[in-house]
Amino acid sequence: MDFEAVRKCSARHPKPAGLALQYGTAGFRSRAQHLDHIMFRMGVLAVLRSRATASAIGVMVTASHNPEEDNGVKLIDPHGEMLHPLWEEYATQLANAEEQELQKVMTEICQKEAVDLHRDALVFTGRDTRPSSMKLSQAVMDGVSVLGGQYRDYGLVTTPQLHYMVCCHNTQEQYGKATVEGYYEKLSKAFIELIKKANSSSSGDSQRHLKIDCANGIGALKLMEMERYFPQEILIHLYNDGTSEKLNHLCGADYVKVHQKPPRGLDMKPNERCCSFDGDADRIVYYYKDADDRFHLIDGDKIATLISIFLKELLVKVEETLKVAVVQTAYANGSSTRYLEETVKVPVHCVKTGVKHLHHKAQEFDVGVYFEANGHGTVLFSKAAETKIRQLAKEEKDDERREAAKMLENMIDLINQTVGDAIADMLVIEAILALKGLTVQQWDGIYTDLPNRLLKVQVADRQVIGTTDAERRATAPAGLQESIDALVKKRRAARAFVRPSGTEDAVRVYAEADTQ
């Protein structure tokens, strides 16, 4: 390794004095002006990870639903999944090393991971639409180049698209073509195949219009590119497309979910289907206004429920013993859990907050559906399940079973299994609503959410609170859980928990019961 070249190049991306950042579930996030050195160093780390895994690695420059002034970076592992936890620690060490420690930290990583420094390295880069993203992604490429790695810059892409590209490349394109066009073609082909079945049993035209709030982000650009691939049956209308307003300002999935109201710049008429993406298009929530002008949010729990019902029905038709399970966090509304377990008869598993925990658990099942309430989620099919479904779609003699298997096959191709993807999830939802002939109100009416509150309490030290049982019970301080239990006992269908925030010195408090 040419440490002299690294030192010279690093001096052009200096670390601000006293700045320490941590690589978390969302990678690194901060004000954009603090991130130049981080980007350079993540380019360096991506080359080491690429050499350690003999695979292409992704580096995405985005801060998702954060304000436009912020930025961030996430690394993407070989199968399009999130970075390995051990390498998250390396990322933090490398990011916070002083200039004179860089060589030592890099050498330690290489020794611990037995990195072959003579192996070719390939890094895929992508960025969102923030004004700072172009310059910051150039810093990533500087880091890749200084270690002799090759990069393929995809430019402006959604975060899920870059995850998809990495997975395609590392599966020798078995997962799909590693181009944006390849992504559009794969998704639209599966969507058109599914929608065909709905058209033969057509329900009224009004079902097909969808208003989309693009959070003034990358989602708008990509949907515009993709529009020519859509069948004429689906009419999408884009709002907050980034032409005039700021990214995520008073709009986007996070804003709608947190404030429980429609985004600015989207006029809703009663009973129109609307949805919002977040800034990097990896989350989606739906909503509508009823005839009395009341706002109704359809969050990740209801999205997971809709998808689970549909997949379960198809699996019953193909008469396969494949098992569906749903993975949730403690924040999932109790009504959704009860409905899934008692009515849909699908097992539900609860894990700690954070996408990586959900994704990891979902991999244990033939078909694992996971969504966070905030609208980030996807469906994972095991290799065995996928092989079985594709085989039945081709060879099954019984017409009904074969048709059901074909629909499952199209679902496999439509869903982005690498990560939550607002575009893919939207097409999945639109296809299911059309196939089941459901309006947005009927979907919302599947079950009624229990009234709930979520509060954030600033504290001096969040580590004082310890939790267990997927963060649903407190182990410390002593007496806290007993006090919560005593309060919860007094109410019907009640539940409450406290957990330390993963990102700041605050404690999150959640409660639900049969009345507000």
Handedness of CA 48, 53, 59, 60 (dihedral sign): negative
Does 2 belong to an annotated binding site? Answer: no
- Identity of the residue numbered 333: N
Q: Is 508 annotated as a binding residue?
A: yes
Q: Is 347 annotated as a binding residue?
A: no
Exposure string of 179-213, with b = 16+ CB inside 10 Å and e = fewer, is: ebebbbebbbebbbbbbeebeeeebeeebbebbbb
Residue 477, annotated as binding a ligand: no
Report the C-alpha gap between 29 and 502 in whole angstroms. 13
199 is in an annotated binding site: no
Phi, psi dihedrals of residue 136, rounded to the nearest 5°: -70, -35
The answer to whether 278 is annotated as binding is yes
202 is catalytic: no
67 is in an annotated binding site: no
Catalytic residue among 64, 188, 335, 336: 64
221: CB partners within 8 A, 6+ apart: 129, 156, 242
Distance of CA 381 to the CA centre of its chain: 16
Residue 373 assigned to a binding site: yes
276 is known to lie in a ligand binding site: no
Tokens of 224: 């515009």
The answer on whether 503 is annotated among ligand-binding residues is yes
500 annotated to a ligand binding site? yes
Is 413 annotated in a binding site? The answer is no
Nearby residues of 37 by Cβ (< 8 Å), 6 or more positions away: 10, 13, 14, 15, 16, 95, 139
- Cα gap 447→342, rounded to integer Å: 12
What's the rounded Cα separation, in Å, for the pair 513 and 189? Answer: 44
Report whether 420 belongs to an annotated binding site.
no
- Catalytic site residues? 64
Annotated binding site for Mg(2+): 64, 278, 280, 282
Binding residues: 64, 278, 280, 282, 372-374, 499-503, 508
Binding region for substrate = 372-374, 499-503, 508
